């Protein structure tokens, strides 16, 4: 029995019609509001895709990547989220070619922990260079070290 694909989250540029594989892409606001916009897209995707167990972690990691992109690269920033039966892959694309670095902030520092969270909580993550700039991505629901859509996990 074939089921209809869930309706795409609000603000989408593109969505896949396959009922067991949903790919969404959207351009984000070029402000700190972008993190909230991205969280809503990811939350809607996971809720409609019946993967509520991934919502909290996925929204946290998405916020961190988007905040980094907006803070360090500026506009434009694009969000791509790819959900199938087994895993979620989220990528944030910006125009900076500078690789992000996992920081080791001082105990009382108020920033610098975003990629450390991604490194600790994602099943895999990495950086893929695109023109012009880069894509920083993470995956949840994958086996350790598993390749995601041709991406190589961060060492």
Residue 154 lies in a domain: no
Greater confidence (78 vs 14) lies with: 78
Contact present, 119 and 125 (Cβ < 8 Å): yes
Going by their DSSP bridges, the two strands 21-28 and 133-140 should be labelled as: unpaired
CB atoms within 10 A of CB 31: 12
Domain count, the chain: 1
Residue 147 lies in a domain: no
SS3 112: coil
Contact present, 56 and 41 (Cβ < 8 Å): no
- What pLDDT was estimated at residue 50? 82
- Mean pLDDT for 44-69 is 92
Residue 9 lies in a domain: no
- What pLDDT was estimated at residue 127? 92
Residue 4 lies in a domain: no
Question: ω before 116 within 30° of 0 (cis)?
Answer: no
Residue 79 lies in a domain: yes
Residue 73 lies in a domain: yes
Question: Domain range holding 125?
Answer: 14-140
The model scores a pTM over 0.85 = no
- HSE-CB at 34 with a 13 A cutoff on CA atoms is 26
Residue 23 lies in a domain: yes
Asked if residue 13 has pLDDT above 50, the reply is no
- Mean pLDDT for 92-113 is 81
Greater confidence (111 vs 60) lies with: 60
Residue 118 lies in a domain: yes
Contact present, 81 and 111 (Cβ < 8 Å): no
Asked if residue 23 has pLDDT above 90, the reply is no
Contact present, 93 and 28 (Cβ < 8 Å): no
Supply φ then ψ for residue 80, to 5 degrees: -125, 125
CATH number at 68 reads: 3.30.565.10
């Amino acid at each position: 029995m074939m089921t209809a694909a869930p309706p795409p989250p609000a603000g989408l540029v593109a969505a896949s019609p396959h009922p067991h594989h949903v790919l969404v892409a959207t351009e984000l606001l070029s402000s700190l509001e972008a993190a909230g916009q991205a969280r809503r897209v990811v939350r809607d995707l996971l809720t409609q895709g019946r993967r509520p167990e991934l919502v909290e972690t996925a929204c946290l990691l998405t916020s961190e990547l988007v905040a980094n992109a907006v803070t360090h690269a500026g506009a434009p920033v694009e969000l791509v989220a790819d959900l199938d039966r087994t895993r979620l892959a989220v990528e944030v694309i910006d125009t900076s070619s500078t690789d992000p670095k996992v920081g080791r902030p001082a105990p009382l520092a108020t920033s610098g922990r975003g990629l450390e969270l991604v490194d600790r909580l994602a099943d895999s993550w990495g950086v893929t260079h695109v023109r012009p700039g880069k894509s920083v991505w993470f995956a949840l629901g994958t086996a350790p070290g598993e390749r995601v859509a041709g991406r190589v996990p961060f060492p």
